[in-house]
Chains A and B, each alone.
Chain A
Amino acid sequence: MGKVLNIQPVSRIEGHARISVHLNDAGNVDDAYMSLMSLRGFEKFIEGRPAEEVPRIVNRICGICPWMHHTSSNKAVDGCFDVTPTPTGHKLRELLQVMAHINDKILHFFFLAAPDFVLGPDADYSVRNVIGVVKAAPELATQVVKMRQLGQMMIDRFAGKAIHPIAAVVGGFSKPLPEAERQAMLKDTQTLLDFGLFTLDFAKNNVFNKYLDVIGELGVIKTGFLGTVDRADGSFRIYDGKQRLMKPDGTYVDFEGDDYLDYLGEHVEPWGYGKMPYAKSWDEGFSLDLENPKGIYRANTLARINVCDQMATPKAQEALEEFRSAFGRPAQATLLYHYARLIELIYACERTLELLNWEGITDTDVRAKVEPKAGRGVGIVEAPRGTLIHDYTTDENGCIEKANLIVGTTHNIGPMNMSVKQAASALIKDGNYDQGILNKVEMAVRAYDP
């Protein structure tokens, strides 16, 4: 009889997941699954609610990236009510969303991923965590905590709540940005940018170089990619733009968010609550076969870094050039998600500065006039975990009639399953495995930051 190894919960990730590895009689991997354990059904319970309330409700889909749900939902309701936010309202939303990205990258890299790298993947599980990092590198840890605080407080002060935000509203933003606060944010963001640059250097020297072999092997699969780019010049974007769907060979199509139904489908397997999006427009169906996957693309940091033509800010562009000359385009190695995440951290800091320096940012015309009505709107933003799609239809009272959601993480469920299977098959041989090996299987998932 074979045997099933369950890793539950998959830890130091931001969702509820389980890995099960099925071994055959000889102790080799027959199959491996990563399944998401929770289902709540927000699509259903926002039905009938006034659409303008929904951007505060859907935050609760994810407490790690609530800003992204908040902004994409607002964009979708703008679409339903056929309203264009004022230019300042638009930019304030982007500002807050980009700031939230900064904080998320810091959280993910240092609190969730770093223990594997700072302490090593084989370190004893009882110390392999952020508390272990605090002990091993107390100064760095204190610095990290301070930076996360700086970032979260910047949001808290201006927008009231960093977790489960309320300040973006249909038609724009709920309040203007006072000049004094703009000044304070500029100063804090400069500090965060410096820290971001330090982090990238630190990671290049202490992580990516040291673990190059692991990067080249662990969880590596070949897929396409999905992200958002600037409508005009194909630059990296996270708040607004067109969608770009790239094939594994690097060729791509661009499309407007409103048309996503023509390009993306979702496949359900009986073994998990996560639906698996795939590229319907490639007309090749859906398969997770490691040798010959069909319809599989990935989202999240590595995907965005692969699909964009360039970064729209100077330091991030420098980092991208270095990355591309080392790993090519599209880069496929799963652990490069961590590297790509830090390039995004630099972008997010630089973009925050850019937005704060935009001349209209303190304008008081933050909110356009809105009338509830029947319509449809698709709101797409890039969440840390991937392209986030909110698609609503409203009735004549402006209440939600139906809704469809594709949450960032789900794009990567198919690929995560492939990476888990790849990693497990490569690491577990003849029934031999230990703590370190099982943690490495988890690391293949952790890179995606589900």
Chain B
Amino acid sequence: MSGKIRLNTDWLCDCGGCHVAIVDLHEKILNVLESIEILHCPVMTDVKDYPEAEIGILTGSIRTEHDKHAAEEMRKKCKTIIAFGTCAVYGGLHGAGLAHSREEIMDHVFKKSPTTTTDTIPTVEVTELAKTVTPIDEVIDVDLYLPGCPPHAHFIFESLKTLIENREPRVTQDSVCARCNRQMIKGDAKELKNSLDGVPDEKFCFLSQGYMCLGSATLDRCLAPCPNHGVACTGCAGPTMQILTEPYRDIRTEVSDRMARLTAIDADTIKTYMEKTAKTQYAYAMATKMIGNKPTFLIKKWIADVEAG
């Protein structure tokens, strides 16, 4: 086995999709196996401990002590750690746990559900939930980030090859719009539409037609499958670098400005709408401090405003 690059992977709090995406490199996985030796990888191998390895792929976010421990072990044993997938990088969709306390969630699942006939909250043989969901770089140092839910095979293969060939990754920092076939034009929509209003014209940008689309605020790690197949982007790969790095730029400011320019709708109307639906607009990235610490990001207030009616 000598000469091969050793790889550990592990999944923390996640859906498993990122691991399936690795398997779904398909024929390329056979190429990859020529240069990489897979050690710890719960979907594929029975290796239960963490051997020394050059590369460590972590998917999922931190929700329990067990997750934290696994991330720390991986950090100790792997030279390069990749935060793989939106959950690992930004907390992901279940980062929405942020909007609800763990007590609320446990109570709902184990007591209030209409099918549940017991009145028990699990306490033994389980590792306790942490207060909130955290992206992994709040617990360990991360060397490379590959967001995407899951990332497209194109980017996975590129990042693995980068490491095998020991070179800089060739990836762009474009937004989803760069790969989208729809054309941005100045449209005459006067009101925001919801995705159920009529059938959007497939030639033109959703924004131009008055439909919400987060493509322009989202980093392309997916090759834009959604807008190219009839539905708008909901930002599952997380925000673009511009949004992350500039304190006063934010998903809603970015999208509302652009949409206002492409329609006859006023930017403030759009911004207010996005605040009201913040749980949806910030669905994938609300758990990251990069968004959470922005002076412009007030999700708890927005949710409270909605609940207050």
Contact check, A152 vs B126: say whether CB atoms are below 8 A apart.
no
Most A Cβ at <10 Å: residue of B23, B129, B225? B225
Complex interface residues of chain A between 126 and 168 (CB less than 8 A to chain B): 126, 128-131, 134, 141-142, 145-146, 148-149, 152-153, 156, 159-164, 166-167
Complex interface residues of chain B between 84 and 100 (CB less than 8 A to chain A): 92-94, 96-97, 99-100
Decide if B109 is an interface residue (CB 8 Å cutoff).
yes
Decide if B64 is an interface residue (CB 8 Å cutoff).
yes
Decide if A82 is an interface residue (CB 8 Å cutoff).
no
Bound-state CA distance A150–B47 (Å) is 30
Contact check, B306 vs A40: say whether CB atoms are below 8 A apart.
no
Contact check, B100 vs A131: say whether CB atoms are below 8 A apart.
no
Contact check, A64 vs B17: say whether CB atoms are below 8 A apart.
yes
Complex interface residues of chain A between 364 and 404 (CB less than 8 A to chain B): 367, 370-372, 391, 404
Contact check, B116 vs A265: say whether CB atoms are below 8 A apart.
yes
Bound-state CA distance A20–B124 (Å) is 12
Q: A62-B15, A142-B30, A261-B114 are in contact. Are A148 and B109 (CB under 8 A)?
A: no
Contact check, B44 vs A111: say whether CB atoms are below 8 A apart.
yes
What 0/1 pattern do residues 24 to 68 of A give for CB contact below 8 A with B?
000000000101011111111100111011001101111110100
Least CB distance from A444 to B in Å reads 15
Which among A10-18, A208-216, A308-316, A338-346 touches the partner chain? A10-18
Residues of B within 8 A of A174 (CB): 229-231
Decide if A283 is an interface residue (CB 8 Å cutoff).
no
Residues of A within 8 A of B264 (CB): none
Specify which of B16, B96, B222, B226 is in contact with A62 (CB 8 Å cutoff).
Answer: B16
Contact check, A264 vs B42: say whether CB atoms are below 8 A apart.
no
Decide if B277 is an interface residue (CB 8 Å cutoff).
yes
Interface size on A, residues (CB 8 A): 93
Residues of A within 8 A of B236 (CB): 164
Contact check, B117 vs A265: say whether CB atoms are below 8 A apart.
yes
Contact check, B24 vs A152: say whether CB atoms are below 8 A apart.
yes
Contact check, B16 vs A129: say whether CB atoms are below 8 A apart.
no
Q: A169-B231, A270-B122, A272-B126 are in contact. Are A41 and B108 (CB under 8 A)?
A: yes
Contact check, B234 vs A56: say whether CB atoms are below 8 A apart.
yes
User: Which residue of chain A lies nearest to B229 when distances are taken between CB atoms in the complex?
Assistant: A160
Residues of A within 8 A of B26 (CB): 145-146, 148-149, 152-153
Decide if B163 is an interface residue (CB 8 Å cutoff).
no
User: Which residue of chain B lies nearest to A126 when distances are taken between CB atoms in the complex?
Assistant: B47
Decide if A178 is an interface residue (CB 8 Å cutoff).
no
* Chain B interface mostly: loop
Residues of A within 8 A of B116 (CB): 265-268, 275
Contact check, B196 vs A160: say whether CB atoms are below 8 A apart.
no
Contact check, A112 vs B43: say whether CB atoms are below 8 A apart.
yes
Complex interface residues of chain B between 1 and 56 (CB less than 8 A to chain A): 11, 13-21, 23-24, 26-27, 29-30, 33, 38, 42-48
Decide if A9 is an interface residue (CB 8 Å cutoff).
yes
Bound-state CA distance A260–B115 (Å) is 9
Most A Cβ at <10 Å: residue of B17, B23, B30? B17
Least CB distance from B65 to A in Å reads 11
Decide if B249 is an interface residue (CB 8 Å cutoff).
no
Contact check, B97 vs A131: say whether CB atoms are below 8 A apart.
no
Residues of B within 8 A of A267 (CB): 116-118
User: Which residue of chain B lies nearest to A280 when distances are taken between CB atoms in the complex?
Assistant: B117
Contact check, B126 vs A111: say whether CB atoms are below 8 A apart.
no
Specify which of B42, B118, B225, B279 is in contact with A268 (CB 8 Å cutoff).
Answer: B118
Residues of B within 8 A of A358 (CB): none
Q: A60-B15, A148-B26, A261-B115 are in contact. Are A130 and B124 (CB under 8 A)?
A: no
Specify which of A8, A16, A266 is in contact with B117 (CB 8 Å cutoff).
Answer: A266
Bound-state CA distance A264–B226 (Å) is 37
Residues of B within 8 A of A406 (CB): 115
Complex interface residues of chain B between 260 and 301 (CB less than 8 A to chain A): 277, 279-280, 283
Q: A15-B16, A66-B17 are in contact. Are A33 and B24 (CB under 8 A)?
A: no
Interface size on B, residues (CB 8 A): 79
Least CB distance from A321 to B in Å reads 34
Decide if B149 is an interface residue (CB 8 Å cutoff).
yes
Contact check, B115 vs A63: say whether CB atoms are below 8 A apart.
no
Complex interface residues of chain B between 104 and 131 (CB less than 8 A to chain A): 104-106, 108-110, 113-118, 120-127, 129
Specify which of A142, A166, A286 is in contact with B225 (CB 8 Å cutoff).
Answer: A166
Decide if A273 is an interface residue (CB 8 Å cutoff).
yes
Least CB distance from A434 to B in Å reads 13
Decide if A269 is an interface residue (CB 8 Å cutoff).
yes
Residues of A within 8 A of B100 (CB): 41, 44-45
Residues of B within 8 A of A170 (CB): 196
Decide if B199 is an interface residue (CB 8 Å cutoff).
yes
Specify which of B99, B150, B196 is in contact with A370 (CB 8 Å cutoff).
Answer: B196
Most B Cβ at <10 Å: residue of A14, A164, A404? A164
Decide if A175 is an interface residue (CB 8 Å cutoff).
yes
Least CB distance from B219 to A in Å reads 16
Bound-state CA distance A66–B229 (Å) is 17
Contact check, B93 vs A60: say whether CB atoms are below 8 A apart.
yes
Residues of B within 8 A of A162 (CB): 24
Least CB distance from A357 to B in Å reads 24
Decide if B66 is an interface residue (CB 8 Å cutoff).
yes
What 0/1 pattern do residues 113 to 157 of B give for CB contact below 8 A with A?
111111011111111010000000000000000000110000000
User: Which residue of chain A lies nearest to B123 when distances are taken between CB atoms in the complex?
Assistant: A270
What 0/1 pattern do residues 178 to 197 of B give for CB contact below 8 A with A?
00000000000000001110
Residues of A within 8 A of B123 (CB): 270
Contact check, A45 vs B229: say whether CB atoms are below 8 A apart.
no
Contact check, B24 vs A148: say whether CB atoms are below 8 A apart.
yes
Least CB distance from B127 to A in Å reads 7
Complex interface residues of chain A between 194 and 224 (CB less than 8 A to chain B): none
Decide if A277 is an interface residue (CB 8 Å cutoff).
yes
Least CB distance from B131 to A in Å reads 13
Contact check, A38 vs B13: say whether CB atoms are below 8 A apart.
yes
Contact check, A44 vs B279: say whether CB atoms are below 8 A apart.
no
Specify which of B15, B105, B115, B229 is in contact with A175 (CB 8 Å cutoff).
Answer: B229
Q: Which residues of B contact A (CB under 8 A)?
A: 11, 13-21, 23-24, 26-27, 29-30, 33, 38, 42-48, 63-64, 66, 92-94, 96-97, 99-100, 104-106, 108-110, 113-118, 120-127, 129, 149-150, 194-196, 199, 202, 222, 225-226, 228-231, 234, 236, 277, 279-280, 283, 303, 306-307
Task: List 15 interface pairs A-B (beta carbons < 8 Å), by A numbering.
Answer: A13-B43, A41-B108, A45-B99, A48-B279, A50-B277, A60-B17, A60-B94, A126-B45, A129-B44, A148-B24, A149-B24, A166-B231, A174-B231, A271-B124, A271-B125
